[in-house]
Structure 1
C-alpha cells in the first residue's frame, strides 16, 4: 500500500501527517507507525498524526471540522499534543478543510484554533483547575501530564538522563509523565527543555509542556504576567491565559506551524 504523507514541525517538534478521512491507514499497526517515525529507516518524526472526519455530533460546539488522532514515535496512541494540534490546523488549511479558524476534536476534548496567513497558529488548550505543588516541583495536566522543575543552568543539564529518571520513578507509576526543566530569563520570559514520554528522549519543543511551564511559573509567583514568552530548543512560543482564584481558562498556545515536505511511502 502507498500512503501519501506530509511533514510538519512546530518549533522543531516534528510530525508525519496523514489525511485519513477515508480510513485507509492501518491504525492498529504499531510497527508501521514506529517505522514511519524512525529517523533512519522511515520518514522521521516525534509522532504521527491522522486527520479524520469527526463522527460525533456536538450541537453546543457547532460544526466540528475534523478529528485529531495522535501517536507517539513508539507507535502508541497518546494524550494531547499541543504543537501537533497547531500543525494539524495548518495541515487542514493546506487541504482546504478550513481557512482562518478551526474547531476539532482531540483525545482531551474540543479545541478551537486560528491561523494567520503566515501560519502562526493560536490553539486553545484545556482549562487547568488543579495544580499539585511539591517542595521541588509542580505537577499539572494540560492535556498531557507534566512535571515542572526549576534548574540553574539548562545548557549543562542532562535532560535525557534526569528526565528519564523522573518519568520512570515511583512518582507517576507505569504511565509516567513528561518532564520539563525551566530556567527564568527575567520578567515573563522563561527557557525550557522537555523530556517526552513516548519519544523517550528530549524533543526540541513540547506544546503541552510549554503550556504547563507558563501556568506553573505564574502559579508559583515567578511572574505575574498572563502572557508568557517561552524559549524552547527549536524556537519561540507564547502562552496566554486568564486566571481567577487559581483556575486557568482561555489558555492559548501560540507559535508557528511549518510545512516541510510531502511525499508517498510504501508500507
Structure 2
C-alpha cells in the first residue's frame, strides 16, 4: 500500500490535515479515505482536509473537504493554514502578498511567522431571516446574537438551525455571537460537514463581524474571540451595497508531519 504524507496544522483550534498534491498522486475523489483521515479515532483527526495543487496562473490551488469526506466551500482558517504550509514548501515568501485559487475564486494572502493575512471574497449583502442574519462569506452562514454565549447549547441548537429548510438543501453554518464591546465580539460556531461545534471558524468570524457592523455601524476593525484564541477582521463597507477589502488575520500553527495508508479502519467508515 502507498503511504500518503501529510502535515497537520491548526488555526486557533480549527485543525486540518494538508497534503501536497502537486503531482496529482492523491485521488481527490476518494471521499472515504478523506473521511477516514479526518476521523478522530480511526485516522489522524481534523475538522477538515486540504489538497495543495498546481495552478496554471497563480501560486497554488486550494481544495477543501469537510471531515465528512465531501469537498466543500471556502474555509477561512483552512486558507490561512494552507498559506503557512505553502511557505514551508518554499512557494510563498515572507511579507509579500500573493494570490492563490480556491473554490470561491482568487484570494490574496500574506505570510508572517506570527500571523497570516487572508483576503476574503466581497460580500454583497446581509439578509435578516429566521430571527437572525444570513450571508455568504465564501461559505453560507447564519448568525444569531445572545447575551450569554456560554449558556448556548451549540450542538443541539446549531444542528437544528443548520438543517432549517429556509436555508435550502445544503443548509448552512450557524454562529452564536455576543458583543463584548465596540469592535470586540465572541463567537461559537456549529459547522456543517463537521456536524459539531468547532473551536474556530474563519468564514463564520467574518460573517459575525459584518453582521455586528450591520447592526451597530461602529468601527471597521474587530477582535474576535473564539474557543481556540483570537482572530482579527477588517473591512470596507459599501453603504447598503455590501462589503469589500475583507481581511481575516490570525495565527496558523504547524502541529506535526506523518504518513497514513488506507488501513483497516476504512471498512468501519462505510
TM surpasses 0.5? yes
Any residues of structure 2 matched to 1:200-219 within 5 Å, and which? Answer: 200-219=195-214
Deviation string 1:196-216 (CA, Å, 9 cap, x unpaired) is 000000000000000000011
SS of residue in 2 equivalent to 1:115? strand
- Note if contact 2:92-2:111 (Cα within 8 Å) is conserved in structure 1: no
Report the equivalent of 2:62. 68
Structure 2 counterpart of 1:233, from 194, 203, 227 = 227
Q: TM-score, normalised by structure 1?
A: 0.94
- RMSD, aligned CA: 1.0
SS of residue in 2 equivalent to 1:163? helix
Q: TM-score, normalised by structure 2?
A: 0.93
Report the equivalent of 2:22. 21
Structure 1 counterpart of 2:145, from 142, 147, 150 = 150
Instruction: For 1:211 and 1:11, locate their aligned partners in 2 and report how far apart those are by CA, in whole Å.
Output: 14
Report the equivalent of 2:268. none
Report the equivalent of 1:243. 237
SS of residue in 1 equivalent to 2:92? coil
Instruction: For 1:126 and 1:229, locate their aligned partners in 2 and report how far apart those are by CA, in whole Å.
Output: 19
Any residues of structure 2 matched to 1:116-131 within 5 Å, and which? Answer: 116-118=112-114, 120-131=115-126
Any residues of structure 2 matched to 1:97-176 within 5 Å, and which? Answer: 97-100=91-94, 101-118=97-114, 120-134=115-129, 136-176=131-171
Instruction: For 2:168 and 2:245, locate their aligned partners in 1 and report how far apart those are by CA, in whole Å.
Output: 31
Report the equivalent of 1:60. none
- Note if contact 1:139-1:146 (Cα within 8 Å) is conserved in structure 2: yes
Instruction: For 1:230 and 1:243, locate their aligned partners in 2 and report how far apart those are by CA, in whole Å.
Output: 18
Instruction: For 2:52 and 2:98, locate their aligned partners in 1 and report how far apart those are by CA, in whole Å.
Output: 13
Question: Is the deviation greater in 133-142 or in 123-132?
Answer: 133-142
Instruction: For 2:174 and 2:4, locate their aligned partners in 1 and report how far apart those are by CA, in whole Å.
Output: 34
SS of residue in 2 equivalent to 1:245? coil
- Note if contact 2:52-2:60 (Cα within 8 Å) is conserved in structure 1: yes
SS of residue in 2 equivalent to 1:21? coil
Gaps of 5+ in 1: 58-63
Structure 2 counterpart of 1:185, from 180, 184, 193 = 180
- Equivalent residue pairs, number: 258
- Note if contact 1:89-1:102 (Cα within 8 Å) is conserved in structure 2: no
Flag as ranges the 4+ runs of structure 1 deviating above 3 A.
none
SS of residue in 2 equivalent to 1:33? helix
Deviation at 1:187, TM superposition (A): 1.4
Gaps of 5+ in 2: 263-270
Deviation at 1:164, TM superposition (A): 0.4
SS of residue in 1 equivalent to 2:131? coil
Instruction: For 2:152 and 2:39, locate their aligned partners in 1 and report how far apart those are by CA, in whole Å.
Output: 26
Report the equivalent of 1:266. 261
